[in-house]
Amino acid sequence: MRGFLASSIGVATAAVLALPLALPTPALAESVPVAPAGSTQSLPLVPLGPAVDRTPGVPGMSASPQVPETQGLPVREVKTFSLVGVVWDDVSSQLHGLVQVRTRSTRTATWSDWQDVETHNSEHAADPDAAERGSGRVRGATAPLWVGESDGVEVRVQAEPGAPATRARARLPSGLRIELIDPGADQPAAPDGKNGGPVGDDKGEVVAPGLSMATAESSAANLPHAALGANEITALDKADSTADAVFASDGALSAAAAPFIGPRPRIVTRKGWGADESLRESGFVYTSTVKAAFVHHSASGNNYACKDAPAVLRSLYRYHVLSSGWRDIGYNFAVDKCGTVYEGRAGGVSKAVLGAHTLGFNSNSVGIAVLGTYSSTAPPEVAVDAVARLTAWKLGLFGRDPRAKTTLTSGGGNRYPKGKNVSMNVISGHRDGFATECPGKQLYGQLGATRTSSAKLQGRP
């Protein structure tokens, strides 16, 4: 088994403000042209005038002239986008302040109320010493916020009173930019609704018609659980899940672990949700095992329909890779509010893929993000159930009891120093490894029941 596994975002509201009929054009936008594959517009934030001159009605924004450190983007007409986030140059710098946006819907042509963007300060990220962290491309970033299809935006970022000054005596980090993500169109289904099988070329390499090399590489990591180019990995009952795992491990799965593998849930593959495999770094990075599962919320808001979940994922993927500078999407799996499970970071759903989800504890763990914000909103029961089903299967592959404790070694972070051995629950919340609100109070409160349900699905007494 071990040889096989190692083989290879609170909303604040205010009255909608009156706006001019004509909006300034985005002359400074740096964007990829709108295309089915999606696009990113990256716009620099600029210093705003004195607080007394600002448009009123922004909740939480101080009117005191003693707090001049404010940057933003005045009302701007832009190309269509659906997700926003703010990034800055230095990943080690924190944004101590309030970030708010409002957007204009392409469907209704009306402007939203002001919405808070969670300034989670990159606790979802690669460990400090990981090659991914030291690539030179990584930026500081807020949580992303899903706003739906929009074509206008206004942004304000204000430093907290008493926020620590940077070397340049500023209270906000340098290089602040608003990232506007268009997820692109959904992938069309095959005419017959079926997934194609693998084809061998004259060198014996596995290829498939219609797949790019990067897509074939990602898809092949899930063999033999699904055919090359498959849009989903089908659900299996407990007995078939065990047989599938034993077969995939070439018999290396231990007899002690085999009885406690939960039924495999249906998993939408990266190809199924339309991941553009040319964005990520090629190849995969693995750790030695999976000892724990960290549960997250994406903090991207709950204003999405389940049919939009693939678009939300494509947006998160672009934000993580192109805006934040990561090698791939940070989470190993995602679960939408209707309980559908999605493959996250590439490398194989049954393997120990190194993610960038829990700063300091990415090694030997798996990160599962429930799409939405669950600080004050209760997560849907079907989503919580999906987390239990996914962990029963994934942790079972590595012989882990969801109700047990495990020991992880910190890779460094704000809660535990590097090298410290930390005892944690096998199913933990992000806040257990980092000083953060993630996965939100309401979702975190469900983890005790999730551990029990997951163990029951494994067949543990």
Q: Is the pLDDT of residue 131 over 90?
A: no
Q: What is the pLDDT of residue 197?
A: 42
CA-based nearest residue to 209, from 220, 198, 194:
198
Rounded to whole angstroms, the Cα distance separating 423 from 291 reads: 11
Q: Is the pLDDT of residue 340 over 60?
A: yes
Q: What is the pLDDT of residue 6?
A: 37
Rounded to whole angstroms, the Cα distance separating 135 from 126 reads: 11
Structural domains in the chain, CATH included, are: 30-182 (no CATH), 216-458 (3.40.80.10)
- Under a CB-based contact definition with an 8 Å cutoff, are residues 138 and 132 in contact? yes
Predicted confidence (pLDDT) per residue in 290-327, tens digit: 999 999 999 999 999 999 999 999 999 999 999 999 99
Rounded to whole angstroms, the Cα distance separating 127 from 363 reads: 8
Q: Please count the helices (runs of H) and the strands (runs of E) in the chain.
A: 8, 20
Predicted confidence (pLDDT) per residue in 8-55, tens digit: 323 332 322 333 334 444 443 444 333 347 999 999 999 986 543 444
**Choice among 56-60, 120-124, 137-141 with the minimum mean pLDDT:** 56-60
Mean pLDDT score, 137-142: 92
What is the three-state SS of 387-448? Answer: HHHHHHHHHHHCCCCCCCEEEEECCCCCCCCCCCEEEEECEEEHHHCCCCCCCCHHHHCCHH
CA-based nearest residue to 124, from 454, 385, 367, 453:
367
Q: What is the pLDDT of residue 256?
A: 60
First-residue to last-residue Cα distance in the chain: 24
Residues 366, 368, 373, 378, Cα dihedral to 10°: -120
Rounded to whole angstroms, the Cα distance separating 197 from 220 reads: 11
Q: 3-class SS at 41?
A: strand
Rounded to whole angstroms, the Cα distance separating 436 from 432 reads: 9
- Under a CB-based contact definition with an 8 Å cutoff, are residues 418 and 128 in contact? yes
Size of the chain, expressed as the number of residues it contains: 461
Any residues with CB less than 8 A from the CB of 360 and at least 6 apart, and which?
Answer: 127, 128, 410, 411, 412, 413, 415, 416, 418, 433, 434
The strand pair at 115-117 and 97-105 is best described as antiparallel
Q: Which helix (H) or strand (E) holds 366?
A: strand 365-370
The strand pair at 427-429 and 292-297 is best described as parallel
Q: How far is CA 426 from CA 1, 167, 172, in A?
A: 19, 41, 38
pTM summary value: 0.85
Beta bridge partners of 406: 424
Q: What is the pLDDT of residue 230?
A: 96
Predicted confidence (pLDDT) per residue in 148-197, tens digit: 999 999 999 999 887 787 766 678 999 999 999 999 988 755 433 344 44
**Choice among 41-50, 332-341, 378-387 with the minimum mean pLDDT:** 41-50
Amino acid at 387: V
Q: 3-class SS at 219?
A: helix
Q: What is the pLDDT of residue 8?
A: 36
Q: What is the pLDDT of residue 164?
A: 80
Q: How confident is the model at residue 61 (pLDDT cuts 50, 70, 90)?
A: low
